[in-house]
Structure 1
Amino acid sequence: MAHLLGGEHLHVEFPAKVVLDDVTVGVADGDRIGIVGRNGDGKSTLMRVLMQRYAPDAGKVTVRGGIRVGMLAQDDALPESGSVQHTIVGDRPEHEWLGDARVRDVLKGLVGDLALDADVDTLSGGQRRRVALARLLVGDWDVVALDEPTNHLDVEGITWLAEHLRARWSATSGALLVVTHDRWFLDAVCTRMWEVHDGEVEPFEGGYGAYILQRVERDRQAAVAEDKRRNLLRKELAWLRRGAPARTSKPKFRIDAATQLIEGEPDPRNGIELTKLATARLGKDVVDLVDASVSFDEKPVLDRVEWRIAPGERTGILGANGAGKSTLLALVAGTLAPTSGRVKRGQTVKVAHLTQRLTELEPVERLRVREVLAEQKTTYVAGGKELTPAQLLERLGFRASELSTPVGDLSGGQKRRLQLLLVLMGEPNVLILDEPTNDMDTDMLAALEDLLDTWPGTLLVVSHDRYFMERVTDQQYAVLDHRFRHLPGGVDEYLRLRAAMTDAASRPATAAPRAAASTPAASTPALSGAERRAAEKELAAIDRRLAKLAEQISAVDVRLADAHDDYAALVALQTERDQLTTETVELEERWLELGEAVG
């Protein structure tokens, strides 16, 4: 595939730290690259250098002539004034951009809830970020670079963005570079990964899940003495097999292979033990919302909510921006009284609310991290082990050298982790996390998930990070049309319900009775006996073929490793592997179709 851009022998050095050290990378047509690594290790710097927004100390960036490159950086600023429409489409005539399918799709997907004639200086920070992303995506680019594009997007927005990027170019044209902590998004859009660490950039094939598998294998083969880090990765791998119901819909041979990989690995959480501990700390009564409604200026936000929160409950809460999630959590936390109905609170309940605003750190901004830790209690129990505040902070990714840093000088991710430590040291028994993944890298998210696995209390999570929510909670609810609704099917069910609501809202009123009458017919028709037997026979044949393909791919991988210095053989073997992989994907899709039909 044709080379689009790249960097040769790149070197970038900041005071007391080398970020990129003799790095050479290339981006070709068809590349969809996710850039991961710890906060501060150079992910955004690498992207800015390749997009020629930052000059390296040494090395050079090459860009093929005529290539159109667009980037959304974290600090991209919008004009101080002007309408949303003008900011996104500029001076293009209305008939021109209205006739452009891409522009219409971007406007609907990202700013459909905003008035196009609204002035950008009246928008919130999250709304401005969505406008900036829309302004980029309506353009015609050969390479798109996105730095944390999922920030300020809800689950629906993230799903839309993934679908947009998958459909934006053909499989062999265009290129995408993305820095994000959203692991579901990485798996949804990326076919390659770059891990930035220790001044290097290490490439991996596949999305986030494949990257985790390869890292575990890399560490095993190298016999690296990073037991703590490897255990976190194995635990995450175990969850990828066991965690979400949707992930169990895999061909049998893949389930068997995953089971062998994680044999002996315990479940991420001991639910029985955690519930027992939570009950001991809380008693049987936590918080009950009984027929609770909230209105502001006579406009309903929540309507007759019934929610009896149990000791040790781990619940994720979904909902569009402005749906009422924060209002719901305020009722639980006791900072808001219902307009009608009541909130009943257990006598021993101690609620801690990890907000997005970092208000807990404002009084200690001038202090050094170690001075803040000295004011805390001496120990914290996690997973049956006593940890000092410094050990707990180390578990959350702080280095010893960073303990002397003033709190005000910490990065966003470091502040978030210190905020969490201060909240946990207060020993709450009900913990509310409001978008806790902001500013955290994927390794730190795994560490946070590991810590929460041992936290013995009731956990309520609001997050647009689908991976995190499914990982740390056992059930999901949604605020939909002012009501509080259980989601047995998790995030997938929420997306279906939201899509149905959007369709119903856009359907003409006269068509509503017909649509309602046709609803039962939308379900999948039952198979006859003969059809079921044929489907089951085809399923068995696909299982056998997939197992054979897995063996062939493994054999090709061995030959690829042996042919590392034979370019012609590498090309031929990679072509063979791509063909086997394509057949595997097609058969898996057919397997899932048949499995759904058979039930």
Structure 2
Amino acid sequence: MNYLNLEDVTKMYGEKVLFDNISLQVNQGQKIALVAKNGSGKTTLLRVIAGEEAPEGEAAKVYLHKDVRIGFLNQDPEFFEEHTILEAVLDSDNAMIQAVRAYEYAMLFPDDTEAMHKAIAKMDTLKAWDFEARIREVLTKLEVSDLNKLVKNLSGGQKKRLALAKLIIEEPEFLILDEPTNHLDLDMIEWLEEYLQQPRITLFMVTHDRYFLERVCDIIVELDLGKLYRYTGNYSEFLEKKTTRHDVESATLEKSKKLLKRELDWVRRMPKARGTKAKSRVDAFHDLKDEVSQQRIDEEMKIDIKGQRMGKKVLEAHNISKAYDDKVLVDGFTYKFRKGERAGIVGPNGVGKSTFLKLLTNEIRTDSGKVVVGGNTVFGYYTQDGIQLKENKRVIDVIQDIAEFIPMEKGQKLTAPQLLERFMFNRKQQQVYVSELSGGERRRLYLLTVLMANPNFLILDEPTNDLDIMTLNVLEDFLMDFPGCVLIVSHDRYFMDKIVEHLFVFEGNGKIRDFPGSYTRYREVKKEEDREKARLAKEAEASTPVAPKPKSKATALSQDERKELKRLEKKILKLEEKKTELTEQFNDTSLSAEQITDLSKELSDVNDELEELELRWMELAEMA
């Protein structure tokens, strides 16, 4: 079944063409990822697909199957700010969710037996009890807790997780996701990865998580220079096929350049008075010129900023601890960093990773122990929140406010415009205001401001969020060659595996484990440890002697008690049938208030009797 058809869709912002006459088709069961450079229009294309922005172009068509339920995860999800988390999650037209919402509200007012009975009846009719358990599972997996907390008091990351949880709970057939892994910890990402692999889910998403692309997607679509290129296969197959396409384009471009040169010579020699044939040739020349002018300019971010010399003592933590109220974040951590060390930090959200970084940089004080920073150590600290860039400033002004130039190797200097060019901001983009930059472009600009301090100890807290794959590749190469120390917090597994030599694993209650290896290796070891713990627990349970029950008259069932047990089973079965019958009567919309009251009382009596009989049955069954 065809879910989506895009035909001849164009979108422009001012003079900038994001995409030009593109077409796209999504069929049931396909899992498609969209990749592109930051600022190319990925989010805009998702909004067009989801119907939140109108397409441009006279022949533009966007067709979405009318019977398919669509779910769209925006970069900046919107909620009613005065709603609680529970109200936000259950704000849906889905019949199952409406039944669960009625039941949850009835639970808040247990004295309102009428509302409770109606809610229970609805849950029974729709068989929504399993669905309620599913809601709680999703909320738990994405750490959406404190259901009575107001949405307006949530952080941006919490809102993104809330929006993702709400979307998964609604179970749409066609998911459109914009950077779904942002603000998720590694356990959440792996759970989401497994969820999206289900065959019933049709997916179109933007992500820069390369393991996600490798394991979830079967088609990758690239938005490049305003055109869409479709590649079947996962991320590794995409890289192979993209390389082949660029090789073909390069060969074609060389031929076009030679032909253009010959045509240019002819046009220059051509007399002013020309006939129809000459005019057609001139028109062909201009077409060829346009073709060559659209040649690929593979801008690559170049990072070769000079680093400062590092002393013998780099950074030392001596038995440091930190707690807030009863929550212990760091407990007795001791470590001495070496020159050129590259370490990663992993652990669930809220376990204290960012606090740990602030302790190491003396931004906050320890409760006990001390941090010693080497005399020549210069931190470059890239935080999650970044700096507050002034929206009304141009890109060039942001950099020139820091420095007009920075020193390079061998006494050379690099001016601010030259430095920006190395970070993929050409001279035209340098005049753009910060307010016009995409999320990834802002992060790239922020990274530049961090590196301008010539640090020799880089601390990067979630540096991969919103960066495109090309920028990530260049950043990875830079960090591999960086002569100083690197300490990274990241939920990008691919990035961590490529960069770090060992991990600081936050295991909770302030315990930090130093693991010698990559993230993937750590997960393998962790799974093996969990399996071993489960095996030992099972063996211990099996080897524990079970005291035999004494066969005394006090516990053995008499003949009368055995008869009573059978009578109870029959009576309980009849009462369960009566309860179902009464519950179904509540669906009759013609019932008067008096009839509803009578039914409620009768149902309450049945429940009371059932409870009493079940308790006696359990007592006899245990004795038996």
* TM-score normalised by L of structure 2: 0.68
The counterpart of 1:109, out of the listed 141, 152, 177, is 141
Higher Rg of the two aligned structures: 2
Are residue 484 (structure 1) and residue 484 (structure 2) matched? Answer: no
- Residue number in structure 2 paired with 1:525: none
Give per-residue Cα distances to partners, 1:326-378, cap 9 Å, x unaligned: 1211121111222112212211111121112222x54x654422234345253
Q: Distance in 2 between matches of 1:79 and 1:404?
A: 37
Give per-residue Cα distances to partners, 1:7-65, cap 9 Å, x unaligned: 11112222111222111110012210000101221212222222222211121112234
- Residue number in structure 1 paired with 2:332: 304
In terms of mean alpha carbon deviation, does 133-142 or 295-304 score higher?
295-304
* CA 310–288 in structure 1, closer or farther in 2 if over 3 Å, else same: same
Q: Distance in 2 between matches of 1:512 and 1:451?
A: 44
Q: Is the Cα–Cα contact under 8 Å of residues 493 and 520 in structure 2 kept in the other structure?
A: no
Q: Is the Cα–Cα contact under 8 Å of residues 367 and 407 in structure 1 kept in the other structure?
A: yes
- Residue number in structure 2 paired with 1:514: 537
The counterpart of 2:437, out of the listed 388, 407, 410, is 410
The counterpart of 1:400, out of the listed 413, 420, 427, is 427
Letter in 1 for 2:184: L
* CA 208–387 in structure 1, closer or farther in 2 if over 3 Å, else same: farther
Q: Alignment partner of 1:92: what SS?
A: helix
Q: Distance in 2 between matches of 1:384 and 1:216?
A: 37
- Residue number in structure 2 paired with 1:149: 180
Q: Alignment partner of 1:223: what SS?
A: helix
The counterpart of 1:337, out of the listed 365, 385, 388, is 365
Are residue 82 (structure 1) and residue 110 (structure 2) matched? Answer: no
RMSD: 3.3
Q: Is the Cα–Cα contact under 8 Å of residues 299 and 424 in structure 2 kept in the other structure?
A: no
Letter in 1 for 2:52: R
Are residue 349 (structure 1) and residue 408 (structure 2) matched? Answer: no
The counterpart of 2:395, out of the listed 342, 362, 369, is 369
In terms of mean alpha carbon deviation, does 472-481 or 460-469 score higher?
472-481
Deviation at 1:230, TM superposition (A): 9.7
Q: Alignment partner of 1:134: what SS?
A: helix
Are residue 321 (structure 1) and residue 355 (structure 2) matched? Answer: no
* CA 301–117 in structure 1, closer or farther in 2 if over 3 Å, else same: same
Q: Distance in 2 between matches of 1:387 and 1:134?
A: 47
Deviation at 1:382, TM superposition (A): 7.5
- Residue number in structure 1 paired with 2:460: 433
Q: Distance in 2 between matches of 1:382 and 1:29?
A: 55
Q: Distance in 2 between matches of 1:394 and 1:471?
A: 26
Are residue 419 (structure 1) and residue 446 (structure 2) matched? Answer: yes
* CA 142–298 in structure 1, closer or farther in 2 if over 3 Å, else same: closer
Q: Distance in 2 between matches of 1:4 and 1:228?
A: 35
Deviation at 1:290, TM superposition (A): 1.6
- Residue number in structure 2 paired with 1:447: 474
| 1:260-275 → structure 2 map (5 Å cutoff) | none
Deviation at 1:517, TM superposition (A): 4.5
Letter in 2 for 1:106: V
Give per-residue Cα distances to partners, 1:389-447, cap 9 Å, x unaligned: 43332232212211112334433222212221122111111111111122222222223
Identity among equivalent positions (%) equals 35
Deviation at 1:470, TM superposition (A): 2.0
Q: Distance in 2 between matches of 1:114 and 1:175?
A: 28
Q: Alignment partner of 1:144: what SS?
A: strand
Letter in 1 for 2:217: C
Deviation at 1:117, TM superposition (A): 3.4
* CA 368–5 in structure 1, closer or farther in 2 if over 3 Å, else same: closer
Are residue 175 (structure 1) and residue 202 (structure 2) matched? Answer: yes
- Residue number in structure 2 paired with 1:581: none
Q: Alignment partner of 1:21: what SS?
A: strand
In terms of mean alpha carbon deviation, does 209-218 or 323-332 score higher?
209-218
- Residue number in structure 1 paired with 2:232: 205
Q: Alignment partner of 1:397: what SS?
A: coil
- Residue number in structure 2 paired with 1:28: 27
Q: Distance in 2 between matches of 1:38 and 1:483?
A: 39
Letter in 2 for 1:286: V
Deviation at 1:124, TM superposition (A): 2.2
- Residue number in structure 1 paired with 2:320: 292
Give per-residue Cα distances to partners, 1:297-338, cap 9 Å, x unaligned: 253211111221111111111111111111211121111222
* CA 486–213 in structure 1, closer or farther in 2 if over 3 Å, else same: farther
The alignment covers a number of residue pairs equal to 465
Q: Is the Cα–Cα contact under 8 Å of residues 476 and 486 in structure 1 kept in the other structure?
A: yes
Letter in 1 for 2:49: L
Q: Distance in 1 between matches of 2:36 and 2:165?
A: 26
Which sections of structure 2, spanning at least 5 residues, go unmatched? 92-97, 104-122, 254-294, 543-624
Q: Is the Cα–Cα contact under 8 Å of residues 458 and 484 in structure 2 kept in the other structure?
A: yes
Q: Is the Cα–Cα contact under 8 Å of residues 397 and 444 in structure 1 kept in the other structure?
A: no
* CA 493–399 in structure 1, closer or farther in 2 if over 3 Å, else same: same
Letter in 1 for 2:76: D
Q: Distance in 2 between matches of 1:17 and 1:433?
A: 32
Deviation at 1:196, TM superposition (A): 0.7
Q: Distance in 2 between matches of 1:415 and 1:83?
A: 32
Letter in 2 for 1:145: I
In terms of mean alpha carbon deviation, does 23-32 or 370-379 score higher?
370-379
Q: Distance in 2 between matches of 1:210 and 1:387?
A: 39
Letter in 1 for 2:99: R
Deviation at 1:77, TM superposition (A): 0.5
* CA 298–53 in structure 1, closer or farther in 2 if over 3 Å, else same: closer
- Residue number in structure 2 paired with 1:72: 73
Q: Alignment partner of 2:197: what SS?
A: helix
| 1:196-275 → structure 2 map (5 Å cutoff) | 196-223=223-250, 229=298
Give per-residue Cα distances to partners, 1:471-510, cap 9 Å, x unaligned: 2323222111212212235323554677799999xx9xxx
Q: Is the Cα–Cα contact under 8 Å of residues 380 and 389 in structure 1 kept in the other structure?
A: no
* CA 366–503 in structure 1, closer or farther in 2 if over 3 Å, else same: farther
- Residue number in structure 2 paired with 1:62: 63
Q: Alignment partner of 2:159: what SS?
A: helix
Q: Distance in 2 between matches of 1:27 and 1:228?
A: 30
Q: Distance in 2 between matches of 1:12 and 1:228?
A: 21
| 1:454-469 → structure 2 map (5 Å cutoff) | 454-469=481-496
Deviation at 1:456, TM superposition (A): 2.4
Q: Is the Cα–Cα contact under 8 Å of residues 193 and 212 in structure 2 kept in the other structure?
A: yes
Q: Distance in 1 between matches of 2:297 and 2:314?
A: 34
Q: Distance in 1 between matches of 2:229 and 2:80?
A: 37
* CA 457–377 in structure 1, closer or farther in 2 if over 3 Å, else same: farther
Letter in 2 for 1:70: G
* TM-score normalised by L of structure 1: 0.70
